[in-house]
Amino acid sequence: MDDQISLKASLEFLKEEFRKYYDKNEPGLPDRFGKREFAFVVFGGKGMIRHIGFEKKTHFTNFLKEKIPSDVYYSSAYYQKPGAPTMQEKEWMGAELIFDLDSDHLPDAGKLSYDKQLELVKKEFYKLVNDFLLNDFGFEEKYVELYFSGGRGYHCHVKDPKILNLDSNERREIVDYITGRDLRDSLVFHEQVTGTRSYGGVSYPSGKTLRMPRPDEPGWKGRISKGIIEIINEIVKSENPAEKLEEYGVSRSDAEQLLQDLSGERMERIKEGKLDQSKTIRKFFLNNALRKTAVSISAGETDEPVTCDVKRLIRLPESLHGKTGFKVQKIFLNKLKDFDPLRDTVVLPDKQVHVDLKQPINIKIKEEEFNLKPGKQEVPAYVAVFLIGRRLATIAQ
């Protein structure tokens, strides 16, 4: 019974904090909002309220203040009839290209702290936007919008008119390129004859070497070369090269064999673009340069990336995330590197709130370190919402 009372009090607290926020802050609506589907999750509710369309902004604002949802979504697609109850009846008109990078996509994400996850996923996001979308695909910056999701990652919306009518298969080709799927060494490296011998007046190759592309070449060729050179430098500078190789997933025995193959002379040859014919070396460098330079868009090979979904629901900018209380924040590309979600998206008040913490947590929010132990204690409201939203605490009774 006490648990039920505490849970109810916690939900009421969250709802009241969100109500105060939405009373003072009205999220902006996306372009052509009358052609978008909207969806909501409410505190204590089950499932999602969706298939809703709004013809006027006041209708949306009134709905928001009446329901006080924990999460607000809208469709990346445009529809003739966004409020229709089935997808077929909505009459699809086109959709933005959406990239959703979440910390769940990172290797061993469960072993990382929340702030470390956010730090690493931002690096992946920057690589996606700068290296692939702007450079390789050549999208104009005016068509590329960046957002912090309010939770564990980042969203990128590409609104170039040229991509609005791409179907799922065409979008999947974009994903395959960004993730380096099916990239083979024969597409990146090329054999070069280093000598010839003559027999009966006919010349035959007497030696070959495998050449890497120049690091400044466009696309995957230059990207793989830069990745290989970075890996070489990491191994050379490491105090324990075998341990460094294990970080790349190489077993101890394979690491020792690889280090024997990777003599100092051979490493210098690789830096010069001469990748020897050792299959072990070729496979190691291609796989790991690919892993270093590709972008993790989905949680696994069987996970369908958001990008391929032409009917995706995405979080509404300036709304609050129900599990953190952080704002879904737009970010300009030139500000991305300095952007700190645990500082820049904290919008709830700092009044003190009594909570009952279930487990220890160490986190830095709004430039303040919180080293909290289990039990009852006082924390600022924005920390309380974060802890309760993530089910790490309840309102103290």
The pLDDT mean for the chain works out to: 88
Q: Write the pLDDT tens digit of every residue in 153-193.
A: 999 999 999 999 999 999 999 999 998 888 877 777 766 66
Q: Are residue 18 and residue 36 in the same domain, yes or no?
A: no
Q: Are residue 391 and residue 365 in the same domain, yes or no?
A: yes
In contact, 293 and 153? CB cutoff 8 Å: no
Q: Which residues contact 90 (CB under 8 A, 6 or more apart)?
A: 37, 79, 80, 81, 82, 84
Q: Output 386 or 196, whichever has higher pLDDT.
A: 386
Q: Are residue 282 and residue 310 in the same domain, yes or no?
A: no
Given this model, what pLDDT does residue 302 score?
A: 42
Q: Write the pLDDT tens digit of every residue in 227-271.
A: 888 887 888 788 888 888 777 777 777 777 777 777 777 777 777
- Domain holding 21, by residue range, is 1-25+347-397
Q: Are residue 59 and residue 99 in the same domain, yes or no?
A: yes
Q: Are residue 58 and residue 167 in the same domain, yes or no?
A: yes
| Candidate ranges 201-210, 229-238, 254-263, 328-337; pick with highest mean pLDDT | 328-337
In the chain, the N- to C-terminal Cα span, in Å, equals 12
Handedness of CA 386, 392, 396, 397 (dihedral sign): positive
In contact, 313 and 325? CB cutoff 8 Å: no
Catalytic residues: 100, 102, 303
CA atoms within 13 A on the CB side of 213: 19
Measured at the CA of 169, the angle between CA 29 and CA 157, to 5 degrees, comes to 25
Q: Are residue 170 and residue 257 in the same domain, yes or no?
A: no
CA gap 309, 256 in Å, rounded: 44
Q: Are residue 143 and residue 81 in the same domain, yes or no?
A: yes
Q: Are residue 155 and residue 239 in the same domain, yes or no?
A: no
Q: Output 295 or 336, whichever has higher pLDDT.
A: 336
Residue 233, both tokens = 């430098």
In contact, 106 and 121? CB cutoff 8 Å: yes
CA gap 205, 35 in Å, rounded: 64
Q: Are residue 153 and residue 62 in the same domain, yes or no?
A: yes
Domain CATH code at residue 19? 3.40.5
* Radius of gyration of the chain measured on its C-alpha atoms: 26
Report CA-CA distances (Å) from 273 to 9, 23, 224: 64, 61, 11
Number of domains in the chain: 3
Per the document, the length of the chain is: 397
Helix (H, G, I), strand (E, B) or coil at 158: strand
Q: Are residue 359 and residue 337 in the same domain, yes or no?
A: no
